[in-house]
Amino acid sequence: MMKLADCELCQLNIAPAWSNELFSVIMVDDVAYPGFVRVIWHEHVREISDLPDPHRLALNDAVHRVELAVRTVMQPLKINVASLGNVVPHVHWHIIPRYQDDAHFPSPVWATAVRETADTVLSARRALLPQLKAEIIRRMNE
Amino acid sequence: MMKLADCELCQLNIAPAWSNELFSVIMVDDVAYPGFVRVIWHEHVREISDLPDPHRLALNDAVHRVELAVRTVMQPLKINVASLGNVVPHVHWHIIPRYQDDAHFPSPVWATAVRETADTVLSARRALLPQLKAEIIRRMNE
């Protein structure tokens, strides 16, 4: 498996919520976005379209299962999914629960923040994370 | 088919590069991003995970074919793909060719612009658009 010494996703050192031989599902520690999840390919592959079809479809399927888990537990107003990789060109997906009161809504999370979400709201969302993790595991093993 | 009178994607009035009964492939007229393509679901569906599996897989497949067409013709440094829909909650995908000299690189296109791409560079990319359209049609019909 190709790994690059200077790629932060090749060298990732975070315990995943779930993983298999191809990819890991990571709960992102983002204070403004509890419930933000990434699916990170293990091998250093630049573009999704560089993956062989069975791998690409397995990754799509994982993103779908994670999206369902995030919807079920976090009950967001909208789900955002994106694969960018301009800074770290190593295949990974962002799955982000969005709410009317989040830091950037309705803009993408990469725009300039327009507000701070109340601590009580963020705490209530953070309290759901153990349940989100369990739901990810359940859906990935289904 | 469910269509909303006040949804701009339900009421879309742009000639697509390619379409079938489910979705349209649209070449976006963005002066800073020649080669930006969207795949827009016809029916008003909020989340990708609201689509029945065969529709979701057909949409994934279309995004993949468009990504390949954009890579082949536009030769970007990186491909960005995203489904957000916070402003217009109607399933659509953005497929965006990214370059070191584009207006936002390496940030996402939704961040604050950091430069203007030279007109000569943008013109050269715009000159590829007829070829991109032909490649999209070819790959969608494959």
How is residue A96 annotated by DSSP?
Answer: E
Q: How far is A77 from chain B (nearest CA, A)?
A: 9
Read off the pLDDT band of A74 (50, 70, 90): very high
DSSP label at residue B49: G
Mean pLDDT of all residues belonging to chain A: 97
Residue A2 has pLDDT above 90, yes or no: no
Helix B129-141 crosses helix B53-74 at what angle (to 10 degrees)? 140
Interface touch B80/A86, C-beta < 8 Å = yes
Output the pLDDT for position B97.
98
Q: Which pLDDT score, from 0 to 100, does residue B2 have?
A: 87
pLDDT in tens, A88-129: 999 999 999 999 999 999 999 999 999 999 999 999 999 999
**Neighboring chain A residues of B105 at a CB cutoff of 8 Å:** 86
pLDDT of residue A57: 98
Look at B108 and A86 and tell me if their CB atoms are within 8 Å: yes
Could A47 and B71 be called an inter-chain contact, meaning their C-beta atoms sit closer than 8 Å?
Answer: yes
B93 contacts B82 by C-beta, under 8 angstroms: yes
Q: What is the mean pLDDT of chain B?
A: 97
Among residues B95, B55, B11, B117, the alpha carbon closest in space to that of B3 is found at B11
Q: How far apart are CA B115 and CA B91, in angstroms?
A: 30
Per-residue pLDDT tens for B7-32?
Answer: 999 999 899 999 999 999 999 999 99
Q: What is the pLDDT of residue A101?
A: 98
Confidence of residue B1 (pLDDT cuts 50, 70, 90): confident
The type of residue at B10 is C
Residue B116's pLDDT is 97
Alpha carbons B70 and B94: distance in angstroms, whole number? 12
Chain B residues within 8 A of A98 when measuring between CB atoms: 86
Q: Do B82 and A78 touch (CB under 8 A)?
A: no
The pTM assigned to this predicted structure is 0.97
Residue in chain B nearest A72 by alpha carbon: B49
User: Does the pLDDT of residue A22 top 90, yes or no?
Assistant: yes
DSSP SS3 for A89: coil
pLDDT surpasses 90 at A1: no
Q: How do residues A107-118 score in pLDDT, each as one tens digit?
A: 999 999 999 999
Closest Cβ opposite residue A110 in set B56, B86, B111: B111
Mean local confidence (pLDDT), B81-99: 97
Query: Does the complex come out with an ipTM higher than 0.90?
Result: yes
Report CB contact under 8 Å: A71, B112. no
Give the per-residue pLDDT at B64: 98
How far apart, in Å, do the first and last CA atoms of chain A sit?
A: 27
> What percentage of chain A carries pLDDT values higher than 90?
98
Phi, psi of B27, deg, nearest 5: -85, 120
Q: For chain B, what percent of residues have pLDDT higher than 70?
A: 100
